[in-house]
């Protein structure tokens, strides 16, 4: 919907649509996390950790879900 076409009655519907972001991952899935890199690290290094971690809980928050890891 274009911003020019939004009226006062549409605001609640738009807010609910933005708030209902679904979690990308679910409980029990195995994931890797992004590694924090220093300022002058080599670009050939991996961006992710080598360990594989299981998701044990999904916390639904606005604007995006948060995952609790094992």
pLDDT string in tens for the chain (70-residue length)? 788 888 888 888 888 887 777 889 999 999 999 887 777 877 777 788 889 999 999 998 877 889 999 9
16: nearest Cα among 59, 62, 65, 66: 62
Residue 47 domain-assigned (yes or no)? yes
Residue 29 domain-assigned (yes or no)? yes
Residue 28 domain-assigned (yes or no)? yes
Stated pTM of the model: 0.61
Residue count of the chain, please give it: 70
Q: Domain containing 37: what range?
A: 24-70
CA-to-CA dists, residue 7 to 11, 14, 28, angstroms:
7, 10, 42
Number of domains observed in the structure of the chain: 1
Residue 32 domain-assigned (yes or no)? yes
Residue 11 domain-assigned (yes or no)? no
pLDDT given for residue 57 in this prediction: 95
Residue 18 domain-assigned (yes or no)? no
Q: Give the count of beta carbons closer than 10 Å to the beta carbon of residue 44.
A: 5
Residue 66 domain-assigned (yes or no)? yes
């Amino acid at each position: 919907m274009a911003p020019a076409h939004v009226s006062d009655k549409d605001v609640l519907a738009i807010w609910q649509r933005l708030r209902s972001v679904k979690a990308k991952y679910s409980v029990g899935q195995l994931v890797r996390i992004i590694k924090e890199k220093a300022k002058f690290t080599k670009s050939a290094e991996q961006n992710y950790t080598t360990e594989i971690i299981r998701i044990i809980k999904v916390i639904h928050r606005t604007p995006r879900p948060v995952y609790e890891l094992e």
